[in-house]
Structure 1
Amino acid sequence: MDTFEGKEKYATLIFDEMAITQSLQFDNALSMVVGSHKKYVLSKKKTPRKPILKSVGVTRQSQLTEEGQHLYDLVTQANQTIQQLKNKMASYQERLKRAEDMAKATDFPNLLNHVSDSTYNFVMSQKVMALAVMKISGKGYRLLSKLFALPSRKTLTHLLSKLPFRAGIINNKILSSLRLAVQKMNTQERSCVLLFDEMSIEAHLQYNEKENCIDGFEDHGCRRKAAFANYVNIFMLQGACKQWKQPLMFTFNSGPINGLALKILIKTAIEKCQGVGLNIVATVCDQGLANQKAILLLKENVVHKSQTGGEQDNGKSFTVGEKSIVPLFDVPHLFKGLRNNLLNRNLHFELEGRKYVAKWQHVQEFYELDIADDTRMPTKLTDAHVYPEKINKMKVSLCTQVFSNSVGSLMWRLSKWNGIIV
């Protein structure tokens, strides 16, 4: 205690000396640049003055020169730092006092004598359950950790680092887990869809200490290339008749992936999944150029086999492992593609034996008729839905609201009235 009190007094003297020294230095420097500023102090009204400004004969910081204001800011920051250090020292003193009071408590020695040297070891099932909760909600897991004995975040992160999940071909442990899960499924539940998509990422290199390699280059698993990766391709399975999902694999690419490489990845993923007993009935992706090219290459194999008499080509599917798979484009991109085509072209179609023409002009005429009256019917339609120069072509909701049942039924009724919509 004596030692601490001596250090405390010494620290207090140091802080006070720092404050006095900085104030004196500021006074000397500021008095040199203030000069004739004293003549601007004309107000006789008594107002509270700051100690630093009062020492040089001014009442406001605006009365200082630019150099004086800079020195004033430096001294103010130094005083704030000194006050923060004093508060921190007071906090240490308070914590030390609490620790001393606890050490003097009669029950404290008994508590030390009965503490177990061994820590609580969570079993794997508990860690997996805690990991699932943490992935659902990080804030919720922190709240539950205060109420229950749960593994720390570091423990769960260490558990994830043990999973060998690298770029490229599907991990064997994932296939083993899938095989065990498939054995418990019936024939209908084994039907699933392969989803794949591409997204851009920021190029970044990081040393992987566990694998003794550098991550961030182009990596397809079977081959790596000394090029910075700024795109990633992700593959995932989703049940067609039962709600379940399973991530499969990912690859890093330098720029968008080409169609031939994507075709090889799709075929490999399907063959691996078929090997564990899954029945992939379709693939789903967006209308990217690489996706369209890969699907065309997969269909070319079917065309080649049909020409040689091996299989019959219907032009709507491709074959992997003697099973027909239908390629599909995701609905949001289909909506956007339909709308974007209507902006520049007319749609000719036949309904009940009669030929019709659909134009984007019809949508504009319908919208202008609707906004001409205060009692609007499709209230969600705005200029951003209708006029091409105002349409955000990446927003799916602008498409679906135009092609909704309410808008379509009203347009169909108006089209039957003479002279409104041709």
Structure 2
Amino acid sequence: MKKKLKRLREKDVSERQNTKKFHNIYKKLPFVQRQFLDMLLRNFDKDLQGRRYTQEEKIICLSIYKRSAKSYRYMRTFLPLPSPTSLKILLRKIQLDAGVNDDPRRRLKEAAKGLTEKDKVMILMWDELLLGTGLFYDKELDKIIGFEDWGNVRTDEFADHALVFMLRSVNTGNKIPVSFCFCSKQTTTSQLLYSIKEVIGAAKDAGFNIVASICDGGSSNQSALNTLIQDTVKLKGEEYVYTNGTYIVHGMEIIPLYDPPHLIKCLRNNLLNKDLELWYNEGKPESARTFAEWNHVITAYEIDVYGTDNRRYVPNLTDRHVYPEKN
């Protein structure tokens, strides 16, 4: 009997120590992880109809679902997570409309709350997406979606592209979607200029500091950035612009950047039918001039594939990347 009581006391002490350890670890967890753990502990022994989730918990699950729907469905086989249908219902409650209207401005101000000045330093990114044409009625907005729509202007043209703007924190890497527009064919320079200035103005009003912009090298983007640079030349002078390499919108000095994948693709496409001169110097004699050719890439690839070494140094490179006729 005494041995049994001793074992029970030891078990009780061990359980209390484990509970204390758990609470100490729990307190150190980030807020989102504590919410996710609370959700699992509250619903692990409930049947499907008895499970309950807060809106914050659904938002956490929605972020996982949007990252990978297939992975989320697999996680539901062993974790008590909300159904995809519940998450889609939650998503439909969020009213989104084209352009920078009151809702994006309000969400930007909410996103800025609690951030340090360092976390408010942002990069503005935008890109165009190809859409299939079609119309549908949004009963929440009481609006037919599918026509060209810039928020302030709607036309009767069918939209086949979407222009999307997003902010990304330089310090944390967190992304903040800002706005979208539906356009017919490619965005014109004037439309893009208006949207860029509108988004930057909304970000400034919310307290963010935009230091750079990133886009691809499309003709509309190049033309819009050149216009912004020329406007800055008129404001500050050529020497200031070419020394700093920036343009100014709403008092914010912004560095124009093009996304590296697009730059690499453009370099590759140009090298296919043009040579690149290295260390160009106007006074250099003809015999001293050196060029990079696409044949150099082909030679390096064939050495890698057919060389005497037993392993590849660039295993991801295939014939489709190197030989234009196989592209």
TM-score w.r.t. structure 1 length? 0.56
1: distance between equivalents of 2:227 and 2:61?
44
Aligned mate of 2:124, from 171, 194, 217: 194
Question: Would you say 1:333 and 2:262 are equivalent positions?
Answer: yes
Closer, same or farther in 2 for the Cα pair 1:199/1:144, shift >3 Å?
closer
Cα-Cα RMSD: 3.3
- Superposition deviation, residue 304 in structure 1: 1.9
Closer, same or farther in 2 for the Cα pair 1:194/1:372, shift >3 Å?
closer
Question: Would you say 1:320 and 2:249 are equivalent positions?
Answer: yes
- Paired residue for 1:208? 138
Question: Would you say 1:306 and 2:236 are equivalent positions?
Answer: yes
Aligned mate of 1:130, from 61, 64, 78: 61
- Superposition deviation, residue 254 in structure 1: 0.9
1: distance between equivalents of 2:138 and 2:306?
65
Q: Which amino acid aligns with 1:127?
A: K
2: distance between equivalents of 1:132 and 1:366?
45
- Tell me if the contact between 2:278 and 2:292 (Cα under 8 Å) persists in the aligned partners: no
Q: Which amino acid aligns with 2:241?
A: D
Report how many residues are paired. 270
Closer, same or farther in 2 for the Cα pair 1:346/1:147, shift >3 Å?
closer
The CA deviation string for residues 315-353 of structure 1, in whole angstroms up to 9 with x for no partner, is 7221012221011111011112222333313324159x9
- Paired residue for 2:95? 164
2: distance between equivalents of 1:226 and 1:184?
42
Q: Which amino acid aligns with 1:390?
A: E
Higher relative contact order (CA 8 A, sep 6+): 2
Secondary structure at 2:242 match in 1:
coil
- Paired residue for 1:290? 220
Closer, same or farther in 2 for the Cα pair 1:161/1:366, shift >3 Å?
closer
The CA deviation string for residues 38-85 of structure 1, in whole angstroms up to 9 with x for no partner, is xxxxxxxxxxxxxxxxxxxxxxxxxxxxxxxxxxxxxxxxxxxxxxxx
The structure that has the greater radius of gyration is: 1
Closer, same or farther in 2 for the Cα pair 1:370/1:237, shift >3 Å?
same
2: distance between equivalents of 1:382 and 1:140?
29
Q: Which of 120-129 and 209-218 deviates more?
A: 120-129
- Superposition deviation, residue 158 in structure 1: 2.3
TM-score w.r.t. structure 2 length? 0.71
Question: Would you say 1:370 and 2:300 are equivalent positions?
Answer: no
Secondary structure at 2:240 match in 1:
coil
1:11-50 matches, within 5 Å, as: none
Closer, same or farther in 2 for the Cα pair 1:356/1:185, shift >3 Å?
farther
Secondary structure at 1:186 match in 2:
coil
Secondary structure at 1:270 match in 2:
helix
- Tell me if the contact between 1:193 and 1:284 (Cα under 8 Å) persists in the aligned partners: yes
Q: Which amino acid aligns with 1:313?
A: V
Question: Would you say 1:390 and 2:325 are equivalent positions?
Answer: yes
- Tell me if the contact between 1:363 and 1:386 (Cα under 8 Å) persists in the aligned partners: no
Closer, same or farther in 2 for the Cα pair 1:390/1:158, shift >3 Å?
same
- Superposition deviation, residue 183 in structure 1: 3.5
Secondary structure at 2:171 match in 1:
coil
Closer, same or farther in 2 for the Cα pair 1:150/1:235, shift >3 Å?
same
- Superposition deviation, residue 247 in structure 1: 1.1
1: distance between equivalents of 2:137 and 2:113?
39
- Paired residue for 1:245? 175
